Structure 1
Amino acid sequence: MKAMEISLSGLDVEWRRLEVIADNLANVNTVKTPDGGPYRAMRLVSGPKTSFQGHLGSNPASLDGVAVYGVEPVDTPPRKVHEPGNPMADADGNVSYPDINHSAEMVLMVKTSRAYEANLVAMNAARTMYVKALDMGRSS
């Protein structure tokens, strides 16, 4: 059952990554957050549950899948747009918008959904193998 648990951890991570991407796209025009500044794009940080060194020379049963380490803001300065009539404009007439590349976010969304689908296929393949193994055990 370890293969299904590993795929399930991948499904969870990729689903959470999709949520972060959706949040970025929803806030592409948010010029003021509760902190006072423009929204900052976020990225999900994920990786193996156990260290890579722990897997070297070990058996496959020690594999644990992936985990979310956190969500961190992308370190990009805001995009300044000259809009003197905007009530959120500064003294120079510039409004600070989040520096979110809509196209890049959509590409990341497609990539993430493909990773989600791959984990789903792997989990279904493992389930099929387990069912066939049980059937073979019953017939012997």
Structure 2
Amino acid sequence: MDLKTSLAVSASGLRAQSLRMRVIAENLANQDSVSRTAGGDPYRRRVVSFQAEVDRANGGTAVKISSVDADKTAFTKVYMPGSPAADAQGYVLKPNVNPLLEAADMKDAQRSYEADLNAIEAAKNLTMRTIDLLK
């Protein structure tokens, strides 16, 4: 694998993990959001899916974002009869965002991002050493 291909593969990983971290941050920001209407659905957690994509021009396998989908897990009900978002029985639906799960996903995305940065740094260092040898 040449330098250009390795940088392209690492850059695709950086873009994918960056989007994943933005979606996780959005999930965390909306973990307490409820519906604006009585009995309506609150914010629904979003999940990023990836897939491998082979670049036939340079032979590298890059990361492609296949979709950003809503998580279909159930909402939790909390009894809050005074809330404007409460249904007829006084229950409010809370988002299906689990802060512990989001923190674990964020840590995983962060480590993957760091691994891609390290791969780019290693490619840069190898290039610089090669240039030094040619002098």
Moved >3 Å (runs of 4+): none
Question: TM-score of the superposition, structure 1-length normalised?
Answer: 0.85
SS in 2 for 1:84: coil
Q: CA deviation at 1:127?
A: 1.1
**Cα shift readout 1:61-84 (whole Å, capped 9, x = no counterpart):** 411311111200111111110111
Q: CA deviation at 1:131?
A: 1.9
**1:50 partner letter:** V
Give the RMSD, CA atoms, in angstroms.
1.9
SS in 2 for 1:65: strand
The one of 94, 97, 117 aligned to 1:120: 117
Q: Identical aligned pairs, as a percentage? A: 33
The number of equivalent residue pairs is 129
**1:134 partner letter:** I
CA distance in 1: counterparts of 2:82 and 2:115, whole angstroms: 48
- Structure-2 change in CA distance of 1:33 and 1:75 (3 Å): farther
**Cα shift readout 1:47-104 (whole Å, capped 9, x = no counterpart):** 21139xx8xxxxxx41131111120011111111011111110000000011111111
CA distance in 2: counterparts of 1:27 and 1:14, whole angstroms: 20
Q: CA deviation at 1:108?
A: 0.9
**1:22 partner letter:** A
CA contact (8 A) 2:5 2:59 kept: no
SS in 2 for 1:19: helix
Consecutive unaligned residues of structure 1, counting only runs of 5 or more, are 55-60
